[in-house]
Amino acid sequence: PNATVSQTVGVTEVRITYGRPSVNGRDIFGGLVPFDEVWRTGANEATTITFSTPVEIQGKRLDAGTYGLFTIPGPDTWTLIFNETADQWGAYNYDSSQDVLRVEADSEPAQSREQMTFSFHNVTDTSATVALRWSETRVPFRIGVDTPEILRGRANEAVADANDWRAPLRYVGYALQN
């Protein structure tokens, strides 16, 4: 089955759309999904991840937009790939020249999970951890958001437009509270 999961981090929406393959008694990582090869990170269409504002993934900047999320699984460390071509079937036409960002994430042993899932943890106004889980593996990665800077920029735009006096006031309220 297909799934979509989303989370707001500060004022940034993060949305992941993916196919949820099942274990079905198979050896998954290092078996069905080979180590050291590009994987679509799910079933059917390539998994996509969308950010409504610029973010940092594992400390590296990534612009707002929708990306194909590919991975290269390893026994201990995975490469997460954010590819400019979001709409594609599997990884059959994957083109590394379209990669916008690659980062590393450590995998962890986890309680067995029949269907692959993505979930959000430790959500604050400026960060969240996303975890991919399937079989007996968990791969967490951090998303950072500069919420104060985003709100400051929105307040400056509102002042420049002079259409809505409440926007800068909301930013000041946020800044005072945080």
The Cα 141–Cα 123 span in angstroms is: 12
For 90-144, what is each residue's pLDDT tens digit? 888 899 999 999 999 999 999 999 999 999 999 999 999 999 999 999 999 999 9
For 47-72, what is each residue's pLDDT tens digit? 999 999 999 999 999 999 999 999 99
155: which 2 tokens?
A: 């307040």
User: DSSP for 69-83?
Assistant: EEEE--SSEEEEEEE
Query: Is-contact 144 127, C-beta < 8 A?
Result: yes
Whole-model pTM?
0.90
The Cα 92–Cα 43 span in angstroms is: 12
